[in-house]
Structure 1
Amino acid sequence: MKGSVIALDEIAGRKAAALIVDGKLDDFLIDPAGDAGPVPGAIFRAICDRPMKGQGGMFLRLPEGDKGFLRAAKGLAPGQPLLVQTTGWSEEGKAPGVTHRVLFKSRFAIVTPEAPGINISRSVKDEEVRVRLLEIAHEVMGDTEHGLILRSQAAVGSDDEVADDIAAMRDLALAVMGDGEGAEAELLVDGPDAHDLAWRDWPRPEILDDRAGSFERHNVDDMIHAFSSPRAGLGSDGFAYIEQTRALVAVDVNTGGDNSPAAGLKANIALAKDLPRQLRCRGLGGQITLDLAPMGKKDRRNFEQTLKSAFRRDPVETVLAGWTPLGHFELQRKRDRLPVKL
């Protein structure tokens, strides 16, 4: 079916959300099973614990015995309290990364403490809309010292919706930023679950189904099952294997039964177009290495342009690192979700 659908449901007691675009699963979120550590986006009062000499970082104490790691911790001393926010999921045996640049993010607004000024997403092009949003923002923020970024979704929100959203984030920021002192580590704001993230970060769909059984009604279970296999079909252009190892995610591109001179380029271009969706729906991040099908060096530029275009529309921060001496292509992707294991 054409159009967009967001289905909110649960799988084995874990909240899950599916974004379906034109009948295909475009994104999938699910809460982790068991205790996976601090949730990305959570805000803590942390206690500086142990500096990493030579690296300029600091290990921090978080509640319940958890640890966090802060880069660029110059000027901090053990025992000092500090407001921090987790930036991603931790790998097994490693402390999650945190930042002291705390953000208060909602569907329409992001409040930026200690970064004054009001800004609007550059994707909002309509000048009348930008003026309207600025008027709302200035009225709600008043003389608050914190800054504000209005997200692209604010352009389609009503005046009241946008104003209420800004006010909620403003009030939360004022409350939390005044609670940074204390001798004990404490969770101040919990990170969002799968349903919260879907509401906050996905565009408003044509159909929102949040009733029990929504996954069954929209065939989500079968769509998810397709991503449980390492094999990813590339239509008539071949297939790829996407497999996670301890160190990295390996992607092996194959042309299938096509032995024509252009087969390698066609398979690689098909992979480039679909790779962001494959990684989102599988929950994969970190270092990613592409072992591409054979193609001439003259075709690399075409492949790179296609890959850049595909990731430009992807919401997860991804760095295209480039080619290796062996002809592989490498990417570095933020770990803002865990690998999907059902």
Structure 2
Amino acid sequence: MDRTVIVEKLDIGHRGAVLEDGSVREWLIDDVHGPLQEGMIVAGRVENVLNGMDAAFIDIGDTKHGYLHMKEHPEYQAWKLREDGKPAPKAAALLQKGDRVIVQVKKEAAGSKGCSLTMLLSISGTYTIYMPYGGYAAVSKKIKDESRAAIRREVRSWLAEQEGIIVRTNAEETESELLKEEFKLLRSRIDGMLKEKPKAPGTLYYDESRTDLRVEKDYVGAANTAVITNDADLAAQWKRTSPHVTWRAGSLFPAYNLDKELEKSLRSFVWLKNGGSLMIQETEAMTVIDVNSGKYTGSSGMRDTAYDVNMAAAEEISRQLRLRNIGGMVIIDFIEMNRSDAAKQVEETLQAALRRDGSTTNVAGFTRLGNMEMTRKQTRRKLSQLLTESCPCCSGAGRLKTLWQLTEELKQQAQAEEAEACLFDVPERLAAYLRKESFARGLPELYIRIRRGNDRAELVRTGTVEEIKGSGERLGGVLS
């Protein structure tokens, strides 16, 4: 398998795509406006300390305060490791109202409850997990016994005081120097957070779902994988560990025709290569996928036609679930085949395709009603949630692109033009957002005019500033 990972730098964050054998298999997009998620490290301020519960409530910039039990405090962890017989420290001795703290989300907010938090931070690399307060060294049980003992002795020699480390399975064939280099990098990241001046509650220090961190952990240095980015700093950093990293100037999504592919990933209708089709409907409780024969008529009867379409659909459904990052329960309405052996082959094809998916999946099989049931673990927000929002006009029955996504598309269009100024027709809701937005240098001067109807930015004219400035409202806020 040949794999190429594209990473494009934006004004805020990054976005990327994973291409396997020339086809997009996964989108990597920073969730800049999303809720706090498991693993995120944020600044907090102690709002209330409850001795009776041995816990504290922390302001983390969310609508609900986070919950921190004292067992998740480094001083409590140090007491546990000492085993000196002294009583455990109480909440009031460890935290006071108004204290500034750095916390990590253990469990996301749900319903009326805020996030569960810990001060026992941990961050993951490609081969190791670093824990500044872990107090132990562990090695994956999947590594051979004769190698585990040697690796554990080696990594223990790197630890100081309360530090901890977990060595992951893929480190078995990795040179010790590379492991140590990653360990130092992870340690320096945590040290940098802890040494910074206290920040406002909710300020994000670390997000392992960030595009650059995910690429660094999962793809840089991986076999048969090339990484291409227009971020010079990332390219220089990644080249230290992999010769297959390339820096390329300019916008990468238009260069690789990825904008059109991303647009397709938001549509409910998907064509199969043989002319069949899928209809993908996402609901709050589950996702329903309907398989249709579409343009495919086959050549040897309805049975074989149904079988051929279902086999192609099984492969494509696996790809679409990963592309759209769909999680939870999935119901698939395959075309009825009336043959148990054919149904078994379709199920096996789906299971084999899902094994290439990094998320945990479980195929329960066909129900008595003939539908396929399966689940996929939700690790991040769905693509539709990242790039679209509920339509206010139809009470959420439809979806509109987010203002952030529309703004990025406008910037991409402007950047592709070799002009001094660009005029766009935009909907009113986007105009209000653009007036507050900042734009990087290098873009043409941007002018807008309000247009009712279509909900997107449309480039209508380019030219000199003198030619354009009387036709619309100029956007300001240029970043230095």
> TM-score interval w.r.t. the shorter chain?
0.7 to 0.9
Pick from 27, 35, 38 the counterpart of residue 37 of structure 1: 35
Aligned partner of 1:295 in structure 2 is 337
1:64 maps to amino acid: G
Q: 1:96 to 1:276 in 2, by over 3 A?
A: farther
Matched, 1:165 2:162: no
Matched, 1:149 2:167: yes
Q: Please list the CA deviations of residues 31-61 of structure 1 after superposition, one character each: whole Å capped at 9, or x if unmatched.
A: 235x321144203569799xxxxxxxx9975
Deviates more, 1:184-193 or 1:329-338: 184-193
Q: 1:146 to 1:220 in 2, by over 3 A?
A: same
The two structures have a TM-score, normalised by structure 2, of: 0.54
Aligned partner of 1:339 in structure 2 is 383
Q: Please list the CA deviations of residues 218-261 of structure 1 after superposition, one character each: whole Å capped at 9, or x if unmatched.
A: 22223222312222232116221222123222211112233620
Task: State the Cα distance separating 1:159 from its structure 2 match.
Answer: 4.2
2: CA distance between counterparts of 1:176 and 1:103?
A: 12
Higher relative contact order (CA 8 A, sep 6+): 1
Q: 1:115 to 1:327 in 2, by over 3 A?
A: farther
Q: Secondary structure of the residue that 2:179 maps to in structure 1? A: helix
Matched, 1:107 2:149: no
Q: 1:114 to 1:13 in 2, by over 3 A?
A: closer
Matches within 5 A, 1:1-342: 3-10=2-9, 13=12, 15-32=14-31, 35-43=33-41, 62-67=59-64, 84-86=104-106, 103-111=122-130, 116-120=136-140, 122=142, 136-141=154-159, 146-152=164-170, 154=171, 159-169=176-186, 189-192=205-208, 193-202=210-219, 204=221, 206-211=225-230, 212-236=250-274, 238-256=276-294, 257-258=296-297, 260-296=302-338, 298-299=340-341, 300-328=343-371, 329-340=373-384, 341=387, 342=405
Contact kept, 8 Å, 1:137 with 1:166, in 2: the verdict is: no
Q: Please list the CA deviations of residues 270-314 of structure 1 after superposition, one character each: whole Å capped at 9, or x if unmatched.
A: 232233321222232232221222123614432332222222221
Task: State the Cα distance separating 1:148 from its structure 2 match.
Answer: 0.6
Contact kept, 8 Å, 2:41 with 2:204, in 1: the verdict is: yes
The two structures have a TM-score, normalised by structure 1, of: 0.72
Contact kept, 8 Å, 2:268 with 2:280, in 1: the verdict is: yes
2: CA distance between counterparts of 1:102 and 1:116?
A: 14
1:320 maps to amino acid: V
Task: State the Cα distance separating 1:87 from its structure 2 match.
Answer: 5.6
Q: 1:206 to 1:305 in 2, by over 3 A?
A: closer
Contact kept, 8 Å, 1:85 with 1:102, in 2: the verdict is: no
Task: State the Cα distance separating 1:65 from its structure 2 match.
Answer: 2.9
Contact kept, 8 Å, 1:176 with 1:188, in 2: the verdict is: no
1:295 maps to amino acid: M
Q: Secondary structure of the residue that 2:129 maps to in structure 1? A: strand
Flag the structure with larger Rg.
Answer: 2
Contact kept, 8 Å, 1:140 with 1:167, in 2: the verdict is: no
Q: 1:6 to 1:322 in 2, by over 3 A?
A: same
2: CA distance between counterparts of 1:309 and 1:315?
A: 13
1:262 maps to amino acid: D
Deviates more, 1:78-87 or 1:188-197: 78-87
1:196 maps to amino acid: L
Q: 1:287 to 1:138 in 2, by over 3 A?
A: same
1: CA distance between counterparts of 2:61 and 2:268?
A: 36
1:149 maps to amino acid: V
Q: 1:326 to 1:221 in 2, by over 3 A?
A: same
Q: Secondary structure of the residue that 2:350 maps to in structure 1? A: helix
2: CA distance between counterparts of 1:138 and 1:332?
A: 37
Q: Please list the CA deviations of residues 104-151 of structure 1 after superposition, one character each: whole Å capped at 9, or x if unmatched.
A: 2122212366594422484x78x88x7886565344347866341325
Contact kept, 8 Å, 2:62 with 2:202, in 1: the verdict is: no
1:287 maps to amino acid: M
1: CA distance between counterparts of 2:56 and 2:346?
A: 41
2:215 maps to amino acid: A
1:190 maps to amino acid: Y
Unaligned ranges ≥5, structure 2:
49-54, 73-90, 96-100, 195-199, 231-249, 388-404, 406-480
1: CA distance between counterparts of 2:107 and 2:307?
A: 36
Q: Secondary structure of the residue that 1:162 maps to in structure 2? A: helix
Contact kept, 8 Å, 2:5 with 2:17, in 1: the verdict is: yes
1: CA distance between counterparts of 2:363 and 2:349?
A: 12
Percent of aligned pairs with the same amino acid? 18
Contact kept, 8 Å, 2:327 with 2:375, in 1: the verdict is: no
Contact kept, 8 Å, 2:315 with 2:350, in 1: the verdict is: yes
- Two-structure CA RMSD over aligned residues (Å): 4.6
Task: State the Cα distance separating 1:176 from its structure 2 match.
Answer: 8.6
Aligned length: 325
Contact kept, 8 Å, 1:15 with 1:31, in 2: the verdict is: yes
